[in-house]
Amino acid sequence: MESHRSLTSLAHARIRDMVLSGELPPGSRIQIDALRKRLEIGASPVREALSILSSEQLVVRNEQRGFWAPEISAEDFGILLDTRCRVEALAFGDAIRHGGAEWEEQIVLLQYRLNSLNRTEKADAWEIAHRDFHRALISACPSTYLLNFCAQLYDLAVRYRNVASLAAYPERQVEDEHSQIAEAALARDAARAEHLLVDHYRKTGEFLYQQLAEREGAALKAG
Amino acid sequence: MESHRSLTSLAHARIRDMVLSGELPPGSRIQIDALRKRLEIGASPVREALSILSSEQLVVRNEQRGFWAPEISAEDFGILLDTRCRVEALAFGDAIRHGGAEWEEQIVLLQYRLNSLNRTEKADAWEIAHRDFHRALISACPSTYLLNFCAQLYDLAVRYRNVASLAAYPERQVEDEHSQIAEAALARDAARAEHLLVDHYRKTGEFLYQQLAEREGAALKAG
DNA sequence: CTCAATCAGAAAATCGATTTTTTTGGGCCG
DNA sequence: CGGCCCAAAAAAATCGATTTTCTGATTGAG
């Protein structure tokens, strides 16, 4: 169990997970009182956590009217994906130019851990390892601003992956892609590494985008 | 007077101004109780506002120990400036490619308003007009994520300008630079516009960076 | 004399109750 | 029948009090 220094940060972590996992579905209302009872935490920390989440774009705030889980759409996902590719390419390039021995070692280590896990069998552990690996790639970027932004975009993208709950995810060789990205990074080939990373994101995103677009088309006919 | 829907958003706006203006100096402690009395607002809204500000990087939070105004340094400013140039170039390019008639008109209007104001005589009005002009330039960027990020970086940069309180700001022809940027944008010359914008930021930042570096050198000798 | 343990005092964090605002639903009038 | 207004209910926002945690000084042992 993770220990938290304050109930606010605990509430933040819990609610964040509920949003990212899709337990709080897109568009659904998030009532403070319901959360208060559910988490067995007072209203103040819950409220504060929601405030923070709303400035992280993981929750939508409507003053005096409450909080909601953000809506999703194919269009929004497309924009998110595109933003992520371009911003993370910047951070990745920086990291490749600035990273030292420690950065290299982290990448090697975390890539190994990631590839050791089976994505379907140990989904939770894989999620964490995947996040850690991608974070390690850019961790040597000197701009904390860029890194924060990348972390935020990562969360938003993970949420899309989860809430779309794809029945059949196409089995690409994601391991190979990760390996190639790591290899290019360690070879300090920024241009190639950036390209591979963006390509990786676009490939992963393409299928999800199609799913979302189809779903919207279907919903349009049904409604 | 601006009206606010809630005391939290009022507190947020007020404290934000206090941080941006330098009224709360870099490194200084921000006590909830002191603010509570100063703003005549309860502790809860003040607390919540500080929480939000800390996730906007305008306040540093130290769990169970309180809040502080962020430290400044030449190094941090350099990184901030660089991040801003690259991220805002992305947003600007998008805007130039996507902007419609309304976007063009806003730029024309806001550039006119900005150039009508004397920077030293009407400092507050100029600040607002300047912010509006720069926001208008990128406003047609479809990525709300990128726009939010740019707004955040803008605030952080404004703070540096204010807290450095430059005795003698070198009088460049800032009006001309703004005009050229607007012109290139309206001509849909993305490459040129981006270059001019980045150049504008770097020129403005260069002097500030020198000041900060000198001050640090002096402080080092004195300490 | 140094270091660690201890103990107020101060400040943050949290709670429960109160106030304000929004939403809901029923009855009334055009 | 449909729109409108008002009252009751629900929910968010705020407050004041209480609890928990940190800080800095003091004291006593080594």
d(CA A16, CA A28): 14
Spanning CA of A152 to C1' of C10, the rounded length in angstroms is 36
CB nearest to B63's CB, from A9, A55, A148: A9
- Which residues, 6 or more positions from B221, have their beta carbon under 8 angstroms from its beta carbon? none
Judge: B63–A6 Cβ closer than 8 Å, yes or no: yes
* Whether A13 CB is under 7 Å from strand C: no
pLDDT at B1: 45
Contacts of A157 in chain B (CB under 8 A): none
Residue A213 has which token pair?
Answer: 């677009």
Residues 35-74 of A with CB under 7 A from strand C: 41-45, 48, 64-65
Query: Which nucleotide has the least CA–C1' distance to A63?
Result: D12
pLDDT at A120: 84
Q: Where in chain B does DSSP place strands (E)?
A: 29-30, 60-62, 66-68
pLDDT at B164: 83
- Show the low-confidence residues of chain B (pLDDT under 70): 1-3, 165-170, 220-223
Cα Rg, chain A, nearest whole Å? 19
Residue B60 phi/psi, 5-degree rounding, is: -100, 130
Residue A24 has which token pair?
Answer: 């709080």
Residue B79 has which token pair?
Answer: 């990184």
* Domain ranges for chain B: 7-68, 74-222
3-state helix, strand, coil in chain A (%, to 5): 70, 5, 25
Are A88 and A137 in contact by the 8 Å Cβ rule? The answer is no
Judge: A79–B44 Cβ closer than 8 Å, yes or no: no
d(CA A78, CA A73): 9
* Whether B66 CB is under 7 Å from strand C: yes
pLDDT at A3: 65
Q: pLDDT tens for residues A176-209?
A: 899 999 999 999 999 999 999 999 999 989 999 9
CATH 1.20.120.530 holds for B74-222: yes
Are A163 and A25 in contact by the 8 Å Cβ rule? The answer is yes
d(CA B196, CA B182): 10
| Average pLDDT of the residues in A216-222 | 74
- Which residues, 6 or more positions from A215, have their beta carbon under 8 angstroms from its beta carbon? none
Q: Does residue A45 carry a pLDDT above 90?
A: yes
Spanning CA of A63 to C1' of C23, the rounded length in angstroms is 14
Confidence of residue A1 (pLDDT cuts 50, 70, 90): very low
| B113 DSSP β-pair partners | none
Chain A, residues 117-146, CB within 8 A of chain B, namely 142-146
Q: pLDDT tens for residues A121-152?
A: 898 999 999 999 999 999 999 999 999 999 99
* B-interface mutation test, from A5, A15, A54, A55, most B Cβ less than 10 A away: A55
Indicate the CATH number for domain B7-68: 1.10.10.10
Q: Do domains B7-68 and B74-222 have the same CATH topology?
A: no
Confidence of residue A7 (pLDDT cuts 50, 70, 90): very high
Closest-CA residue in chain A for B5? A63
